Structure 1
Amino acid sequence: MKASKWIWCVQKSLREYNQTVLFQKEFEVTKTDGARLQITADSWYRVSVNGTWIHDGPARAYPDYFQYDEHDLSAVLKPGKNTIEVIARYFGIGTFHQIPQAAGLRAAILVDGEVIGTDASWQAAPSNAWQQWTPKISIQMEPFEEYDARLEKILDWQPAVEVKRPGKLFRRNTQLLTKKPRRPKGEPIIARVKKGEPHWCVPVTQLAHGELVEANFYTSRPVVLGSTLTVRKKQPFDFGSNEWKISVNGHLLKTGKVTLKPGKHDVRFFCTSFYGHNKELTFPWRNLKGWGDWTVSIAATCLFLNNDRRWFASFEDKEAQKAERRWQKAIEQYPKGFSALDRPEEQIFMEDPAAEFAARQKVGTARRAVRSQAGGAFIENALPAGVAEYCYDFGEQTCGYFEFTVKAEEGVIIDLNAVEYITPEGTIQHTLPFNRNGMRYITKKGVNRFRSLKRRAGQYLFVTIRNAKSPVEIKSVRIIESTAPVTPVQPFKSSDPALNKIWQMSERALKLCMEDTFTDCPLYEQTLWIGDARNEALYAFAAYGNYDVSARSLELGAQSLDQFTIVGCQVPSSWDCQLPAWSFLWGMQVWEHYFHAGDKRFLKKLWPAVLKNLDGAEQYKDKQGLFSGPLWNLLEWAPIDHDNETLLHNSMLLAGALKAAESCAEVLGEAKAAKKLKTRRNKLIRAINAQWDEERRSYPDALLDATGKPSTKTCQHTSMLSIMCDVADKRIQKPALNNLLNPPKDMTTIGSPFAMQFMYEALEKVGEYDALLDSIRTKFQPMIDVGASTVWEMFAGSDFDTHGFPTRSHCHAWASSPIWFLTRIVLGIRQTAAGGTAFEVSPRLCGLTQASGSMATPKGPVHVDWKIFGKTLRVNIGAPKGVKVDVEHNTSLRGLEVVVENHRSTVSVN
């Protein structure tokens, strides 16, 4: 992209919050063969050529390693005049996906030996239609999407401004996401909902800190809003809120309730939610009529910023606590010490359509006011006491872009909100307060066609029509599904329908959690959590033979070491926190990626980061030789004693990372490093096993910060990790296994599917295959019982507060472990050499009479199909040419004659 410049528009600041800018360029070509487009933007782009949508991007990246996408334009260009159009968004605020630097677009069209790069010859105009002052979708994501089609043609086109921006650009190294249209299943359910008042929120963090890009909890908001309320008759008011303290005419209210006489009253709202991940706070008074001009003031002495590397309430920063105490004093002394900010009202109060949807009140059916015609629907004028709401069911969880065509008069408000789950009784599981999973569209007169800029997830899409004074025709509604372009080599099938369904649910969830990296879930976060990625990579190896998503996830983890001592836990991100367990899982994934992909060159590229991660961990060793640090020492949400610096599970996973690094060193011929790592690992194992409590037959959860003594709490997690990571010696392994199979009543048990992956790895290691399969059947059956299409973040009955619903996230690929274990145990396919050159096949019957499926490899799938006929087990094995397969007997096959047939590779039967 040397012949291009970074550009933006002259009318906008490079750092202003939530900008959407349009760009266009006309150009002429004579030949179109081989035409390519290279393009990137901070923070997001959508590009079209000659009216055809090409793609969105870019991939997530650290600022120093920013990436560009490359698109083939051969099919969309024509000889003669062509037009390229780009919608670019600069978020101007931190997310868990980006660290925005400054607004900018950069592109180059390579065609017919010519380079047409972005420069001042391109035209640029701020978009008036995409509304700027909207709240963030969530702490993890960008600002909420709101589009006013009435303003889309009000454009001030001017030559683009060239922008200087340091740093190299790197070509995207993962495949582009899919664009697959999905239509709803059947007709929508139509309801009438009560017309509600607007909901407002205040961007308190942004008001306090301006253009700061961050996502940390410890970012203070010493903000006060003030106005004059004109009261016409004596009446009571209730300004009560957990997030605001109210003063009226200089007197602080205890409860927020007050009766006011006719006249003018000075009212102040002091933000008492002083810290938090939520960057906007709900405003406790919905009706803004009757108020005078609003003012904003801040107390500069109470401004405070810190990272969240040590995260949890019990780890609160002392300086942060001092700042909060200063704020409480400042409230009492107002207006002393406060300075006024000049902000227009649109930047103080942001409308919150998601909150309006969450507060909806259904008042009946709207079918009498709606008539269907030619696949569409007309909403008639008269909808007594409310507005019409359509609920479209897509039949299963999906993730993609909202797309619709609507014919309406000007000014109709269309709210679209997606949800994952509705109870059998009809209760909607709303996504607030964690995510504003929707958008708002305001119509122009006539036909409105729209495709959202944001990918959103859910199974049900609610389309609410507000402010309609004449018929509105919904011509079409669909979702353009967008995931990594993966397809399973073969679905798992067996004589147990439940296991088949569990595999299908797991695979569907995994696909929806694959973008340019692995993500935790497609709705709430869409975040690359490094620990999740380690597990999801195993599933993607087995199901798809996909290695580029794993490689990119590992690469971003390595790049995080420019910022952190050990690999970051979610990257790239504006949230500055560290979770050691994830850092060590990254180290284990490095080896596993090499073993499955066979890419020695990539392993060599990551090797310096592997050593840097482990050397960083050495800095946290305590006097006993255990890993100990003021970090987020979580493993999962189960109530482990993790509010301490020395957690035994961290040291065990570090031992696993050291062993993985030893294997890497051997492959790379780093004998000296391998010896050093082995010595370090053995020393760490001795320190861990010194904490084994013979009387309680368990490791303690932690060593307590206050005393240094072992915690009185125990958990399954240390026992399973001691087996999985080869920490438990012979005296420990048997009682540790008993803790997994028969945990004592006072022992904390596994709480999430994420941690269950490690439990299953431990059980597989010691040969407890039936226990493993029984657990899969038991733990995942409740998901089947409620008709889930994907696997969940939590198991049914979890200690995690799901507010009465089965789980929070209904699509969470960290729960897709059945893909891995059904392949390895029931089909018995286990890779024994790097790069998929050799395998062992040893099916475990586990009460089944037949099973079939494949494991993907870089050389092609290894297929197994087995079936019991009387006393004979017939095993059909297929493998790529040159792949060695050994068939191994096991105890589950006793009494059966094993016949191996129809193989297409070198197979030996032992």
Structure 2
Amino acid sequence: MTDSYFTQSAQSAQSEHFERAKPVWLDGLEHEMNVTAGFRAIVEPDGEEPMLLRLTASSLYRVHVCGTFIGHGPARGPHGYYRVDQWDLTDALKPGRNVIAIEVAGYNANGYYVLNQPSFLQAELQSGSRIIAYTSADNGHFTPFRLDERIQKVQRYSFQRTFIEYYRLKANTRDWITAADAPVAAGPCSEAAPKALLPRGVSYPAFELRNPAAVVAEGRFEAGYPPESYWRNRSLVSVGSGLAGYRIDELELLVSDELQETRTVERRELSERYEAAETRILQEGRFAILDFGLNLTGFVGVRLTVKKPAKLYITFDEILSGQGDVDFLRLVCVNAIGYELEPGQYDLESMEPYTLRYAKLMVMRGEVAVEAVSLREYINPDTETASFRCDREPLNEIFAAGVETFKQNAVDLYMDCPSRERAGWLCDSFFTSRAEYVLTGAAAVETNFLQNYLLPQRFAHLPDGVLPMCYPADHDDGRFIPNWMLWFVLELEEYAGRTGDRKLVMQAKEKTDRLFNYFRTFRNEDGLLENLQGWIFVEWSKANELVQGVNYPTNMLYAGALSAAGRLYGDGDLLAQAEQVRAKIRDQAFDGTFFIDQAIRQVGKLVQNRETTEVCQYYAFMFGIADPVSHPKLWDLLVRSFGPSRQKENLFPHVYPANAFIGNYLRLELLSRYGLGRNVLEQMEGYFHYMAAKTGTLWEHMSERASCNHGFASHVVHWLYRNALGVRTLDHATRRLELQFDPSFLSRCEGSLPAGGGTIRIEWRKEADTLYYSVAGTNGYEVHIFPVAGYCLREETT
């Protein structure tokens, strides 16, 4: 297959072509940091003809029609490329004059979320077959002007993302969005050079409005209490030639310091149900904490009335910390939005998406009547037909948390987290891609993700042949993870198997060739990688401290990537190299019981460091250095004595424990690979249920010390479909479904998976020695049912 179903269906219906629009920006400001611009067109609907808005921008845009939210974007592309969105405005139009309002935040700051590229907007309105408004330096009927209400010289939100949001507003500041007769101070704009355009490639996000579930606390705070030491993250103090932003002495205000200077002096715990119609009065020095019920990602909104000039902060986090409070700095980012408000009524919503379960409203001065608090979700909409349910409620909650985690981390590419970074990381993507396949029946987001890596000829600040650890991102500091490049190859092979997209795979060959050429310069006399450059990353554990010299987990991964590329491109030399690496690792790293992590060269000779980690054992089995037949004692030891209860029992204390990423995931994948489905399901409860219960999403670490919503963790749905529902293989390219039910842990299970434009529904239950099952909606898929030892299979028709 040259072009796959996935590649074709991933493209949005619209073309990326503009008929008349030119890329424009406020004259002379295209390179200035943190400038917000407005573009407005006044139009009248022409009969029954549909009206479409086609646009792209750098860095981010938001669209309203007469004050009604339409959309946010664009989907991210690589350096020098811009993905085009097309919004149907027809249903939002009213009789008479309509305001089409576009806000664009032009950041011009490097990070891992949006690229440091000159600001612009390119947009045109199409009514029927006519272009009735378009951006240009002359009169294209879009009026450009600067929006000063968002304060420009503020601190960065995080090292990975650009600037926080802080606003000074009057009651009529936002009238330009809602009222056709509202005056605007038009400013000159200039055209930029033509842009390389790409289709959006993925579905448009879902933007459902969510309200809090409860009010959990209220009280009083006081300002003017400096902490013993102020938070001084690199995003604040390392601004300079390598990190764009405003230095502390340039800031108009320093939000993180101001909020640290507050202390709670009175607090009342509540368990009130949140009522959207109920107004809550907050006077100066008062706060309220609201609970959305689970971790959500989107745009934070508040509707309120201000009687006298007020200053309001909305701080937020995924969990409550300390004495049940919101720690706006817990995640090493500034989870705060600030407003200075003149008297009047306001309907406010953040320009940027954030992640939170809890929101804290703090009135620094004045008084506000809070009429509604909301979060407009910003999520992948393609999981609606995916479902799962069994007779173990913890597993049902883990599945729901996996779906939530995926939706929030896969809007336009695979992200590590939707909060602090919103970055597209390799390795994480290997696991998230499997979740997308079973939850959406396609690989649209993965296609975008991989395409972003393949289009650039080279990556600035990185050695030739090196792929960025996350992308689209700016890597001005030259940092990279060599291991993640190897995971790219592993994912590419699975992508080929999922989609049959040989065109993209062949486009990737040059990148993979250069990648292996780069690694070849670090091979020692044994063919093993030694003294790699960059940030050598095995996992978040002791293993990351044993990476210098010859790191055996890295070499195990290297062998796996060599094999994957060899199979993918029919290259026997790569396959032979992989086997040579495996043989050397077996010879050098196995101490008779465990595989050790490291060897260091001393006086010209490699000397084995005897330290060993749990995750090293999983790398060995994952990448073909060992298997249950070749190393039965070690395999039996791992199965029986390791896992979520191991640390409580203090077994093998000299073997450093694994963490969530990626050790626990490799463990469960191996158990699943070798047919230990009961172990997988039991240990999933131990690893993940407490996460699902606390935030409704799944975490970066086993503890809550970092992100509580990490994209790779959505991989749990892959195991639940495979080991609980029984979906051994679902191949959309060949339309083949293989089922192998495992009733050893569950008594019943049911679920649905999107497939070929329809939905396959599977149910099974056991009664005595009979297993009853049904499969519906196969829509031309060839179904194979494997026998179940000790059970008679009986099909039930639906």
User: If the length of structure 1 is used for normalisation, what is the TM-score?
Assistant: 0.76
Q: Distance in 2 between matches of 1:358 and 1:85?
A: 36
CA offsets 1:797-827 (integer angstroms, 9 cap, x no match): xxxxxxxxx4422222322333111211122
Instruction: Please give the secondary structure, in 1, of the residue aligned with 2:387.
Output: coil
1:853-868 alignment, distance < 5 Å: 853-858=751-756, 860-868=758-766
8 A contact 1:31–1:111 mirrored in 2: no
Query: Please, which moves more after superposition, 38-47 or 458-467?
Result: 38-47
8 A contact 2:35–2:152 mirrored in 1: yes
Deviation at 1:190, TM superposition (A): 2.1
Equivalent residue for 1:596? 498
8 A contact 1:34–1:72 mirrored in 2: yes
Q: Distance in 2 between matches of 1:119 and 1:148?
A: 29
1:841-852 alignment, distance < 5 Å: 841-852=739-750
Equivalent residue for 1:348? 250
Deviation at 1:367, TM superposition (A): 11
Q: Distance in 1 between matches of 2:124 and 2:226?
A: 44
Equivalent residue for 2:579? 682
Matched, 1:553 2:449: yes
Q: Distance in 2 between matches of 1:130 and 1:488?
A: 36
CA offsets 1:63-111 (integer angstroms, 9 cap, x no match): 2222222222333457875543221111121110222222222112233
8 A contact 1:415–1:440 mirrored in 2: yes
Deviation at 1:187, TM superposition (A): 4.3
8 A contact 2:395–2:689 mirrored in 1: no
Deviation at 1:15, TM superposition (A): 1.7
Q: Distance in 2 between matches of 1:675 and 1:657?
A: 13
Matched, 1:755 2:651: no
Equivalent residue for 1:649? 553
Which of 300, 310, 313 pairs up with 1:402? 300
Q: Distance in 2 between matches of 1:762 and 1:461?
A: 40
Q: Distance in 2 between matches of 1:31 and 1:136?
A: 47
8 A contact 2:57–2:82 mirrored in 1: no
Deviation at 1:642, TM superposition (A): 3.8
Q: Distance in 2 between matches of 1:677 and 1:64?
A: 33
Query: Please, which moves more after superposition, 404-413 or 108-117?
Result: 108-117
Which of 557, 568, 576 pairs up with 1:664? 568
Equivalent residue for 1:300? none
Which of 462, 470, 484 pairs up with 1:582? 484
Instruction: Please give the secondary structure, in 2, of the residue aligned with 1:664.
Output: helix
Identity over aligned pairs, percent: 19
8 A contact 2:498–2:732 mirrored in 1: yes
CA offsets 1:729-773 (integer angstroms, 9 cap, x no match): 787432442453336431222111433222222222233333323
Deviation at 1:481, TM superposition (A): 1.0
Q: 1:848 to 1:344 in 2, by over 3 A?
A: closer
Q: Distance in 1 between matches of 2:24 and 2:225?
A: 41
Letter in 1 for 2:795: V
Equivalent residue for 1:813? 711
8 A contact 2:276–2:373 mirrored in 1: no
Q: Distance in 2 between matches of 1:790 and 1:28?
A: 44
Which of 30, 33, 43 pairs up with 2:59? 43
Deviation at 1:378, TM superposition (A): 5.1
8 A contact 2:326–2:358 mirrored in 1: no
Which of 850, 875, 880 pairs up with 2:778? 880
Which of 170, 193, 197 pairs up with 2:221? 193
Which of 23, 31, 35 pairs up with 1:6? 23
Equivalent residue for 1:728? 626
Equivalent residue for 2:397? 501
Q: 1:827 to 1:367 in 2, by over 3 A?
A: closer
8 A contact 2:282–2:368 mirrored in 1: yes
Q: Distance in 2 between matches of 1:380 and 1:780?
A: 38
Letter in 1 for 2:586: N
Equivalent residue for 1:52? 68
Q: Which entry has the higher C-alpha Rg, 1 or 2?
A: 1
Matched, 1:66 2:48: no
Which of 312, 332, 337 pairs up with 1:434? 332
Q: Which runs of 4+ in 1 moved over 4 A?
A: 77-82, 151-156, 240-243, 303-307, 343-347, 365-368, 729-732
Instruction: Please give the secondary structure, in 2, of the residue aligned with 1:441.
Output: strand
Matched, 1:163 2:163: no
Q: Distance in 1 between matches of 2:301 and 2:686?
A: 39
8 A contact 1:541–1:856 mirrored in 2: no
Instruction: Please give the secondary structure, in 2, of the residue aligned with 1:86.
Output: strand
8 A contact 2:627–2:635 mirrored in 1: no
Letter in 1 for 2:387: P
Instruction: Please give the secondary structure, in 2, of the residue aligned with 1:690.
Output: helix
Deviation at 1:43, TM superposition (A): 1.0
Instruction: Please give the secondary structure, in 2, of the residue aligned with 1:412.
Output: strand
8 A contact 1:400–1:482 mirrored in 2: yes
8 A contact 1:401–1:479 mirrored in 2: yes
Matched, 1:150 2:170: yes
8 A contact 2:171–2:343 mirrored in 1: no
User: If the length of structure 2 is used for normalisation, what is the TM-score?
Assistant: 0.86
Equivalent residue for 2:467? 567
Matched, 1:770 2:665: no
Equivalent residue for 1:278? 235
Q: 1:659 to 1:33 in 2, by over 3 A?
A: farther
Q: Distance in 2 between matches of 1:861 and 1:655?
A: 38
CA offsets 1:353-391 (integer angstroms, 9 cap, x no match): 3444455422225899xxx9993435376xxxx611011
**What are structure 1's unaligned runs of at least 5 residues?**
200-239, 244-272, 283-302, 308-342, 666-672, 797-805, 904-910
Which of 786, 792, 795 pairs up with 1:897? 792
Q: 1:691 to 1:555 in 2, by over 3 A?
A: farther
Q: Distance in 2 between matches of 1:380 and 1:137?
A: 26
Q: 1:445 to 1:429 in 2, by over 3 A?
A: closer
Which of 524, 528, 537 pairs up with 2:433? 537
Compare relative contact order (CA 8 Å, sep 6+) and give the higher one, 1 or 2. 2
Letter in 2 for 1:762: L
Which of 184, 202, 208 pairs up with 1:174? 202
Q: Distance in 1 between matches of 2:794 and 2:395?
A: 25
Equivalent residue for 2:118? 102
Q: 1:620 to 1:131 in 2, by over 3 A?
A: same
Equivalent residue for 1:225? none
Deviation at 1:775, TM superposition (A): 1.8
Deviation at 1:9, TM superposition (A): 1.7
CA offsets 1:324-355 (integer angstroms, 9 cap, x no match): xxxxxxxxxxxxxxxxxxx9999524433344
Letter in 2 for 1:431: L
How many residues get paired? 747
Instruction: Please give the secondary structure, in 2, of the residue aligned with 1:13.
Output: coil
8 A contact 1:392–1:460 mirrored in 2: yes
CA offsets 1:304-327 (integer angstroms, 9 cap, x no match): 8699xxxxxxxxxxxxxxxxxxxx
1:698-709 alignment, distance < 5 Å: 698-704=594-600, 708-709=606-607
Matched, 1:90 2:106: yes
Equivalent residue for 1:249? none
Q: 1:82 to 1:137 in 2, by over 3 A?
A: same
Equivalent residue for 1:869? 767
Letter in 1 for 2:768: G
Matched, 1:793 2:793: no
Q: Distance in 2 between matches of 1:374 and 1:653?
A: 52
Q: 1:72 to 1:347 in 2, by over 3 A?
A: farther
Instruction: Please give the secondary structure, in 1, of the residue aligned with 2:338.
Output: strand
Q: Distance in 1 between matches of 2:196 and 2:149?
A: 33
Q: Distance in 2 between matches of 1:653 and 1:145?
A: 42
Q: Distance in 1 between matches of 2:577 and 2:275?
A: 73
Q: Distance in 2 between matches of 1:436 and 1:678?
A: 48
8 A contact 1:32–1:77 mirrored in 2: no
1:383-394 alignment, distance < 5 Å: 387-394=285-292
8 A contact 2:23–2:195 mirrored in 1: no
Equivalent residue for 1:323? none
Instruction: Please give the secondary structure, in 2, of the residue aligned with 1:278.
Output: helix
Deviation at 1:145, TM superposition (A): 0.3
Letter in 1 for 2:561: A
